[in-house]
Amino acid sequence: MSAARQALVSTRAHFPLGQFDLAVIEVEGTVQLVYLAHGWADGPLKALANQFAGPETAAQLREIADHLDTVDWPKLQGVA
């Protein structure tokens, strides 16, 4: 039985996303979105979930951003 080895991460970028941190990593021929949150009492970031991304993911995220741009945030927050 061979020993497990750590995956080789070639690129990593972090982005704030609401109360979470989103890491985009390139690891051994894949791109993954890793959703992170702070542990208890502002502890270290912990991975909550990861998702494999593909060439279509950027356009999908732009669609989400475009939709969020149309939300009437002042109305939702009770500010007229």
The pLDDT assigned to 58 comes to 97
Structural tokens at position 63: 């669609």
Contact predicate 8/28, CB 8 Å: yes
| Domain ranges within the chain, ordered by starting residue | 9-76
Which residue is listed with tokens 């979470």? Answer: 20
What backbone torsions phi and psi does residue 25 show, to the nearest 5 degrees?
-125, 145
The pLDDT assigned to 45 comes to 85
Q: Which of 8, 57, 3, 12 is nearest to 28 (CA)?
A: 8
Q: What's the CATH number for 9-76? A: 2.30.31
More confident residue, 51 or 8: 51
Lowest mean pLDDT of 4-8, 27-31, 60-64, name the range: 4-8
